[in-house]
Structure 1
Amino acid sequence: MKWQLISTSFILLSLPATLAKPAVNRGNFRVKPRWHKSDATTAPSKRSAPDSQTYGTLKADDDPFNTYIITMKDNEKRPWMEIFDEMGFNATEKKDNIYSAHANSKSGYQNHIRSFETDFGEKIEAFGYNMRAFTMNLRESEADGLSGLEEIGIIEKDSIARPAVIEEDEYEVHNMTVGKFEKRQQQGQTIYTQRTAPWSLQRISSKNRVVTRGRRATDMSYYYTYDSMAGYGVDIYVMDTGTNVEHTDFAGRAKREFNAFQGDDGRDARGHGTHTAGTVGSIHYGVAKNANVLAMKVINNAGVGPSSAIVQAFDHAIRRHNQRRRDPNFRGSVISMSLSGKGTAESLKNIMRTATQAGIHVSIAAGNTKEDACGVWPGRYSREIPIITVGASDINDKRAGFSNFGPCVNIHAPGVAIMSTYNKGPTSTTSMQGTSMACPAVSGIIADEMLRNPRLRFNPFGMKRHLIAMSAGVAIVGANDGRGLANNGFYGTA
């Protein structure tokens, strides 16, 4: 069953008052014709003949349960109880404040997540400040019936995303390398060169290919050139598995901002989110060394994240971004997402569009399945909205063998043997590979460019064109699309 945007041309049939709402019995599924009669419930095979009151009795195997995300149309402003009542769900709101830990206590986001329970025991989670949506377990036929309601904009299965990293049996954990930084003045700027950097940072600050001279790719003996103000005043939302905010290399700039999972303490149990956050903005491993790193836990401890969790996180980021614009020291917002999922996620596409319209920049991992990136979300939407989909390259400037490709890829960045922060303690580090590692490098460059090019701070479309133009000096071997290698504006030889 394929879910798409609901056509606005659908016309509800005029029905008798006695059939105004569906009657639901989970043991023997019955739907009165308040909802439209669909192909899913009228197919002759495996279904009993309809009677005057129902469209048929469906067996569980024929009519499976799934979690759905239902997004309302923009003009639907009625109270949730009124909406649920019209849909035929006799729901009661649960006011035990179970979502008080969803977000930073100062954000107030929990005020926009409300929990309901129907009289047949199904839970409904309604949310949204910049949009309105809810999630619920439904049979396929029920979801198909709901799609006919004129107040619903999108109804789709709650898709699953996973970190865009090449999983290994065990990551070798190291302690942090304390670095050497040299300062110099250049045309009114204070420029630093870090002499104990990972190869990935050297590569994005030079036009020349990295020459190892006997060094390993994981050695911290490469050079990185950057502006001393890199990322200052910029908020980077890292949507991932959480972040080890106690890691000393964040120097207090990392904070837990959002957690999509009830009963979870928001900590990073997998290490992936801490690694990507380190590439974004840690002192020794990061691109934008002054940025505010805001952890948004949208992937659970099992390594999966529902698209509804990501939509909620976007909604929170948009609200906070709009509040932050009143701060004279605020320089802008970036959302960094090193994750991908199969199929489509139309609700996520809509909220990403809202985010870019609000002036938030979005950087996306292309995925690691060696296929067309246009077949996975969220990167597939880079041709429709001004988000940046990032492929991975190796130390020889070749497209990484695992990296997705195709016209939805906009740019490449280092993604093989990348050293960064980890979750095994306050000084732990490790090496990972994947488009997950390439994406945060671009996120950090965006934050850098907000300081150098203020006109682009709230212009995602202009920033995307700018970054692609900056990448044109180096072509990644084996990449047919998005061939340019990300650069932070420094082109000299280290």
Structure 2
Amino acid sequence: MDFFKSILFALLSFFISTTLSAPAVVTTVVTVTADASTPTSSASTHESGGEEHIVIINKNAPVTPQVAEVLKRLDLDEGHSDVRHVFNNSAFQGFAASMKSHCLDLLANMSDVSMVEKAVTVTRADIARHDAPWGLQRISTSSSFAGSPQDMDYTYTYTSNNLGEGSDVYIIDTGIYTSHNVFNGRASMLWSFDNDLSDKDGHGTHVAGTAAGSILGVASNANIHGIKALDADGGGWSSNVVAAIDYVINRHDARSKHPSPQTPFSGSVISMSLATSSPVSAITAAVEAATAHGIHTIVAAGNSGTDACTSSPASSGGTHGQALTIGAIDISNAPASFSNSGPCVDLYAPGVDIVSSWIGSPNMVNVLSGTSMATPHVTGIVAVAMAGNETLARNPGLMKEWVRMVAVDVGDGVLVANNGVRGQGAAGNGKRAFSGLDASGRCRRESESTAMAAWMCNAKRSLRSLAGLLS
């Protein structure tokens, strides 16, 4: 009898335990999938192809899913050929994938997905190629000055020799020719949308030289990082730009958590000299996430001669967001005819006939015009300010206020970027950026005092023989 009691007791215990435990597991699974409007597997078979779309997960959902979970609902995974990018940082999560209507319909009914947007093309924001640098003096004086744009005898005035030391400058562009002399080993290529870390267009190298190159650049001691989102023709997809910002946020987090005396870290600034033909919500959201995360973001106004609010990432600045959107002026402080304007523009910077580094050889230079060229002037100003002021470095909102506060009002509502120095230009006590040529076309004697100044002068002289490149 005791034997039969033992068997009955064991069976009863098994029945009670399975009855109480099994439904709890099932209920948990059903609740999550129901809230997320997850379809059954028989209704979500993925069909390859379709147009590329950017998907951003709703971080405010009651239960925020992982990217892998959302992909699984579409019968996709991170390794699928249709999945181009996965965004996974502390500010936003999502992915970019080629999808047809059946996937888009499923995503539209998922309450934990905040955005589904078709990827669009973006292009670099340059206009023409001319000849002559002058921007360093313009951003470091409140005085007007005149001269031939071919004269390279300008003065760059600044208050501290740190010049951005410890600041991380991220150039989201066509890549960077890191072997150029102006970078002095401070430049590195970190990421590329196509795994090609070279700059085959030259645009990104030009922008980087103005932002942080020696001799030519504003923050000439900063760390320069190439983030390649545009191709050899200066174009690309909005998803590449979002993926680039995703990469920068993750790296910024890592740098913030693990600073060291060997690798000092003042802060991060993104420079984006690119534009779309219409506003792109995914880029706007990524920029907002970056600035909310403490990453300063400087963007080009665009070169259509229209309202900057009609393009991304330009629409993320001015009165519309925390980014700094930059228009272009010429040497006479007049806004360039090609420069976009309007309430999304914060201020203007030198953007006509700007000489900077170029691809091809370590001493190659080129002259370009565009809001692309104006943007890195302000990027450099921010990088220098980060290295000298911890409060500004931590707060993009305060930095934006400071940059606008120290800008020079040249009339007609035009604010011109300034680094906080209101000197008298060439007559002041500033540091000479480079000496240039004398009247006979030879390098001035003082430019021969350093190898860097000498090659820059010779490179300028060689521009006269680059008619094919500059045409």
TM-score higher than 0.5 here? yes
- Determine the C-alpha separation between the residues in 2 that align with 1:445 and 1:126: 32
> CA separation of 1:209/1:25 partners in 2, compared to 1, >3 Å: closer, same or farther?
closer
Amino acid at match of 2:363: T
**What are the residue-to-residue correspondences of 1:200-215 with 2, within 5 Å?**
200-212=135-147
Partner of 2:342: 406
Name which one, 1 or 2, has greater alpha-carbon Rg: 2
> CA separation of 1:16/1:396 partners in 2, compared to 1, >3 Å: closer, same or farther?
closer
Partner of 1:240: 173
Could you tell me whether the CA contact under 8 Å between 1:391 and 1:412 is conserved in 2? yes
Q: CA deviation at 1:209?
A: 1.4
- Determine the C-alpha separation between the residues in 2 that align with 1:454 and 1:24: 49
* 1:217 aligned onto 2:149: yes
Could you tell me whether the CA contact under 8 Å between 2:37 and 2:111 is conserved in 1? no
> CA separation of 1:145/1:218 partners in 2, compared to 1, >3 Å: closer, same or farther?
farther
Partner of 1:440: 376
**What are the residue-to-residue correspondences of 1:293-442 with 2, within 5 Å?**
293-325=224-256, 326-328=258-260, 329-382=264-317, 383-442=319-378
Amino acid at match of 2:114: G
Q: CA deviation at 1:423?
A: 0.7
> CA separation of 1:423/1:25 partners in 2, compared to 1, >3 Å: closer, same or farther?
closer
Q: 1:126 aligns with which of 72, 79, 86?
A: 86
- Determine the C-alpha separation between the residues in 2 that align with 1:18 and 1:487: 58
Q: 2:218 aligns with which of 283, 287, 300?
A: 287
> CA separation of 1:271/1:18 partners in 2, compared to 1, >3 Å: closer, same or farther?
closer
Partner of 2:70: 83
Could you tell me whether the CA contact under 8 Å between 2:280 and 2:311 is conserved in 1? no
Partner of 1:73: 58
- Determine the C-alpha separation between the residues in 2 that align with 1:18 and 1:208: 69
Q: CA deviation at 1:19?
A: 8.9
- Determine the C-alpha separation between the residues in 1 that align with 2:330 and 2:38: 66
RMSD over aligned Cα, in angstroms?
Answer: 2.6
Partner of 1:146: 107
Stretches of structure 2 that go unaligned for 5 or more consecutive residues are 1-32, 427-471
Q: CA deviation at 1:450?
A: 1.7
Q: CA deviation at 1:163?
A: 0.5
Amino acid at match of 1:334: V
- Determine the C-alpha separation between the residues in 1 that align with 2:341 and 2:54: 29
Aligned residues: 384
Return the TM-score normalized by structure 2. Answer: 0.76
> CA separation of 1:475/1:126 partners in 2, compared to 1, >3 Å: closer, same or farther?
same
Deviations 1:193-213 (A, max 9, x none): xxxx9311111111111221x
Could you tell me whether the CA contact under 8 Å between 1:274 and 1:421 is conserved in 2? yes
Q: 1:260 aligns with which of 190, 193, 199?
A: 193
Whichever structure has more strand as a proportion of its residues is 1
> CA separation of 1:25/1:352 partners in 2, compared to 1, >3 Å: closer, same or farther?
closer
Partner of 2:9: none
Q: CA deviation at 1:286?
A: 0.1
Q: 1:454 aligns with which of 385, 390, 400?
A: 390
Which of the pair has the greater relative contact order for Cα pairs under 8 Å at 6+ separation? 2
Could you tell me whether the CA contact under 8 Å between 1:115 and 1:124 is conserved in 2? no
Q: CA deviation at 1:79?
A: 5.2
> CA separation of 1:16/1:371 partners in 2, compared to 1, >3 Å: closer, same or farther?
closer
**Aligned to 1:344, what secondary structure does the other structure show?**
coil
Q: CA deviation at 1:305?
A: 2.0
Amino acid at match of 1:265: D
Q: CA deviation at 1:436?
A: 0.2
**Aligned to 1:161, what secondary structure does the other structure show?**
strand
Identity percentage of aligned residues: 34
